[in-house]
Structure 1
Amino acid sequence: MWDQFRLFVGLLSNTPIWNRTDKPVQDNDSDSDDEEELEQEESAANVINANLEREPRKFTPRPRARPPYAMYGEDPIPVGSDAEVKDLLDEESTRKEEKVITFLNDPEDCIKVFLSSYMRKQGLIWHKPNLSNMPRLVGFFVRFLIRNRTFPESAHERDFRRCLEIIDRAQNDLPLTAQIATSLPDDFNESCKTCWGTKADGYKPLANKPEDPDAEADESVNMDEPKSKKARLDDDSDKPDPTVSAKTAIDKFEEELKAANVEVIKLDEDTIMKEAVLESILDNVDDIEVTASNDNSWGGWGSSNDDPSSFATKLEEPDPWAEVIANWGPSKVQTLTAFLGPTALPLTHTAGVVEWSVRRVKSLAPPPHPNTVQKSPVSNEEDADAVDIELERQLAKVVLEPWLGWDKAGDEMPHLSKPRILESSRGPIISTNDDVAVDPNAQDTTPSAVSVDKMKPHDPTKDDITILVEPKVLEALSVGLGIGATWVQMAREQDFAEEAKKKKKKKSKSKKVPQRYWYVEEVILVLPSYHT
């Protein structure tokens, strides 16, 4: 870890790899050279060293630091002289100095990059201890510089003290990124996925279409034919039956034996099996152990009793590979009944807008006290308001705001740099610029598709969303963390119902449109709050 930080800030250089083109390539595969080396080793082994002085201890050289992954796979640089080698080393030394200058000019930004995007690109975040050890290591280095006044200028000291604020946030955020990845989606969100199906993008099988239209027509004709007819057409009548051919060969062989005055005796399968079993028993009689026991159990074959002459078979140890491992089975399917009991949620709500984006945690709210929640209205029909009240009573709320420009460089995940409305989305969307990518197959995306007093159009670049999670998930969340996931809106069935049905339930026009909650289907990316 320390070497990776030194490579990043310029305290350690990447030694370039070159290939000398002015020197001939030595042939190491020559047999004569191998024989000479072998003779020299044998003669050296036979020489008695009279010098008894102890040689100085040689320490194992420190292994070379792993270079960044961007340098992997590069071919050695061809050089033709010592001067070119010196120029190559000077260039690397210049790059090293430039990194140091960049770090000293803006140490706060360099620390942000190293503890966020650089760690992700170099794969350092996938080792869980690095998430807590790396900020601690960098913090020790920065505090060492401040304590020893390595840079006495007040401007440098202020910059390094601001770095400590970023390091303190990293000590809190980085370990939480691993916890969020394993906590979301929780069982409730998995239950919503089970109820309304998968909405996220995935791999879709493509049907193999023949290039020739005539071949496609022939295939459709063959599909209409009965299987028995197709089997008769596909079979080759000239192909001999292998069973008949084998029987004919056996008959010819027996006729040849009879012609040579050899008696042929045919044995049935039962006779062969009896002889094989008898031979196996006779061969294994010596392997049966004769043991004596004071056990007063019933006597008999395979059991032990007071008679020392009785046989007792040796029990074989169970095969561990024959045991069925419970964890290897299919995962448990989560259902809404486990959280809400016999609920009307699948009848009153449906999947609405489906958005993939990176959002930042804005606020966290645990479930309210039962006495502070309004009671559900009593109705003979399924009431969406009553279902929402029950959800608010049992689940926690997480408000997330859009995080535009999280990938400023555009080199980490270019295809995920802006919000996307997926193909499975259903509901009005506001997208007046190129900041949102809307799938052309999404349904009812125009703002006029649904009346405004029934369902508010969703703007992925401005609107906050509120997801419902289990209360225990709040322990893994913190304000400011970024989560890249597939967000699915829990729309109401009445939002997409016909106008005639909706007019019956329509009340005052001034009534506020109820909030639409969301759930998370899959999490792809988790970022610290200072990600750069």
Structure 2
Amino acid sequence: MDTDAPADVQAQIIAVTPDPDDQSKLLNNKPLVHHEFTFPPFPAVPEGVVIIPFALFKERGISIEAGPDGDEVDSLGIATVPMSKRHSNDECKTKATKRKGEWDSKGRKKKKKASNENGGEPPKWWEVWEDGELTRYGTSHNPGLLSQRQKLVLNTSGKRQLRRFLGVSDTVRQESATQKKKRQKIFGPDSDIDSSDDEVNSGHEEDAPANDNTAQEPVDASGGIVNIPSEAGETGILDATVLLIEKTIRQNEEKVYAFFDDPDKTFKTFMSSYGRRIGLYWSDENLDIIPRLLRFFVNFVLRSNALPEIDRELKKTLPLFKIALQEMPASATLSRSIPDRFSRACRSSWGKKTESFYFGSEDWPAAADPPVSSDAADGTAGQAEVDADSANKGAGGWGAWGENPSATEGDNSNPWGGTVGWANDVINDDVEEPDNTMWRAVEENLISLLGPTTFLLTHKAGVVERSMRMIKAIHPPGPNIPLDIVQGSFSLESTAVELQLERRFTMVVLGTMEDGWDGGEYPVYSRPEILSTSDGAVIINADSPLPDTLPGATPPHNPLTDNITLLVDKDAPYLKDMHVGMGLGGTWVQIARDVLPKKKKGKKLKPAPSIWYVSELNIVIPSFWTISEAIYSK
């Protein structure tokens, strides 16, 4: 293959209008055809170009060794260009890796296989999809003849969850007249039907009964038949299915309008509050797949020109999926990784500061089995009988554990055949206890983590706050702190210990969230709350006077306005999953000064920094969190 010829030279054919007076330009009464490069005259040599005479030209072959990027190159290092058509002798005879094996034995181009760091594993599904994306288009239709809903139906085929969310899936199963007669014959006239959200009906809004008056009537709590008085005073019977169909149609119309009004907000809702509420967040695969699928869907719609009226708005959503692809999987990683080693070590040293939730009461009745007859206890083949009278006696009205209803006050015999409750010969004391260590949180030690330090002598646990906070900034450890100050590990100066922590940990600044961020779905984290285990000055009302504090002490904390700085190990692998704007909901514990620093002559004491650790983390949300509206409630 010759690579010395100019690559950018393209021959152009120019038709010249003949001059009737110049017969030299006519050949058989037809105009002569001139090419762009017709010599003579020869064009001037461009500046900086050296023309090699043919006598001095040397043919350059293809180099056996590949180029720096694995390309096939000639002896001058110029990359070769593959031919557009396959020939029988087109084989790669060099060490090039990029285009080696592109063709099969029949001259067809092979499908690309992704080469990644996993060592020859098959390509991921999204890599396979990427290769064929440009060949996929939607069904041909005239956009002017279709409604907005019909366009969405055509372009969301096979995407059940997305169709339901966008309101283009008829999710109510209608009952035919024959089915209704059979149901009423078997179960009675007041029997209910089973409406399934997973079945799709082929009907549309036009097929559903339209009755504005009955659509506003309440549905019976049982979900069955509803009695509605008519205008004439008579009682009419209306099947609850009709009301459900009409309600679903109205909600679906509102969902379609919401999507066309603001696609960006719709996708944010689907990938945040709505996706979390319906359970899409509880699978790691979903967190990675959902943003990829939505990106493919939007590109497909744009490429097919299916929704030209919102083309510009759809293009604006593409950067959102890139962010979601980072933050949605990161939410699962952070939930599993936090509290980290340092936070667990602080919790082990200062105790658990969170408040537990108890479901039930302390006087919950003790568990008890119904008493059995004596012949059953003796091992006879009789059936255990329940004594109804004695069943109401004992703890909690259930009867005492192992109580013998037939035994008299002086009878010390045990109805269970043993000396204490269960028979001794049944219990095997050598049974190995199950290993439950995998369910326990690994406890850490501050000494093993920080080395010899006076951290526990100079600091203590302070304010305890339960809230949702947003990542505002991430600051790496300070490298410019003098080592002689940091290495003073045995110093009882709180400032020296804090410098040691500043050099050892990454500082993650957490800001406050706006009121109503959750839409009422997470009341525990709707507003910051100071727990009863807290120890420190707190500002409850901004208008109230500030509490008195000593110079150099930890200042009062305002949970509504103040930032907190979370200490995170600088080598923690999950640091890359922390993105500015993401929300973390948990219990935060302040690291307060227990020993005040000494005042130096002529200098004022600076207030203590706001450093915290996390006691527990219960919820992680992405930066694009959007409240789910009422139309997506079901």
**TM-score (normalised: structure 2):** 0.52
Choose the corresponding residue for 1:353, options 463, 478, 501. Answer: 463
CA contact (8 A) 1:427 1:450 kept: no
Give structure 1 stretches of 5+ with no counterpart: 30-61, 209-237, 244-320, 435-444, 496-501
Question: What code does the residue aligned with 1:360 have?
Answer: M
Choose the corresponding residue for 1:387, options 497, 501, 505. Answer: 497
Query: What is the match of residue 410 of structure 2?
Result: 240
Query: What is the match of residue 585 of structure 2?
Result: 484
CA contact (8 A) 1:183 1:476 kept: no
Choose the corresponding residue for 1:187, options 341, 358, 361. Answer: 341
Residue 86 (structure 1) shift: 6.3
Choose the corresponding residue for 1:465, options 545, 550, 564. Answer: 564
Query: What is the match of residue 342 of structure 1?
Result: 452
Q: Deviations over 1:338-373 (max 9, x none)?
A: 111222111110011111111111122233448765
Superposition RMSD on alpha carbons, in Å? 3.9
Residue 467 (structure 1) shift: 1.1
Query: What is the match of residue 108 of structure 1?
Result: 264
Residue 241 (structure 1) shift: 5.1
Query: What is the match of residue 298 of structure 1?
Result: none
Choose the corresponding residue for 2:522, options 405, 410, 413. Answer: 413
Residue 460 (structure 1) shift: 1.5
CA distance in 1, matches of 2:165, 2:562: 38
Residue 203 (structure 1) shift: 3.9
Q: Look up the SS of the partner of 1:524 in the other structure.
A: strand
Matched, 1:168 2:168: no
CA contact (8 A) 2:225 2:237 kept: no
CA contact (8 A) 1:364 1:397 kept: yes
Choose the corresponding residue for 1:519, options 613, 630, 633. Answer: 613
CA distance in 2, matches of 1:167, 1:176: 14
Q: Look up the SS of the partner of 1:447 in the other structure.
A: coil
CA contact (8 A) 2:226 2:238 kept: no
CA contact (8 A) 2:167 2:252 kept: yes
CA contact (8 A) 2:587 2:617 kept: yes
Q: Look up the SS of the partner of 2:497 in the other structure.
A: helix
Q: Look up the SS of the partner of 1:526 in the other structure.
A: strand
Matched, 1:117 2:273: yes
Residue 330 (structure 1) shift: 5.0
Choose the corresponding residue for 2:302, options 146, 153, 174. Answer: 146
Residue 509 (structure 1) shift: 6.1
- 1:219-238 pair list within 5 angstroms: none
CA contact (8 A) 2:341 2:444 kept: yes
Q: Look up the SS of the partner of 1:8 in the other structure.
A: helix
CA contact (8 A) 2:224 2:240 kept: no
CA distance in 1, matches of 2:313, 2:511: 30
Question: What code does the residue aligned with 1:195 have?
Answer: S
Residue 477 (structure 1) shift: 1.2
Q: Deviations over 1:288-333 (max 9, x none)?
A: xxxxxxxxxxxxxxxxxxxxxxxxxxxxxxxxx9696474585542
CA distance in 2, matches of 1:483, 1:522: 10
CA distance in 2, matches of 1:202, 1:137: 39
- 1:89-108 pair list within 5 angstroms: 89-108=245-264
CA distance in 2, matches of 1:507, 1:423: 39
Query: What is the match of residue 2 of structure 1?
Result: 159
CA contact (8 A) 1:4 1:65 kept: no
Query: What is the match of residue 456 of structure 1?
Result: 555
CA distance in 2, matches of 1:392, 1:84: 65
CA distance in 2, matches of 1:84, 1:127: 35
Q: Deviations over 1:10-62 (max 9, x none)?
A: 12122157798995832489xxxxxxxxxxxxxxxxxxxxxxxxxxxxxxxx9
**TM-score (normalised: structure 1):** 0.61
- 1:42-441 pair list within 5 angstroms: 64=199, 75-76=223-224, 78=226, 89-153=245-309, 156-203=310-357, 239-240=409-410, 242=412, 325=435, 327=437, 331-369=441-479, 375-376=485-486, 382-405=492-515, 407=517, 409-410=519-520, 412-432=521-541
- Greater fraction of residues in helix: 1
Q: Deviations over 1:437-480 (max 9, x none)?
A: xxxxxxxx983242365332212222211111122131221111
Q: Look up the SS of the partner of 1:112 in the other structure.
A: helix
Identity fraction in percent: 33
Structure 1 pair 328/418, CA: closer, same or farther in 2 (3 Å)? closer
CA contact (8 A) 1:398 1:469 kept: yes
Q: Whose relative contact order is higher, 1 or 2, with alpha carbons under 8 Å and at least 6 apart?
A: 1
CA distance in 2, matches of 1:81, 1:379: 82
Choose the corresponding residue for 2:185, options 2, 13, 26. Answer: 26
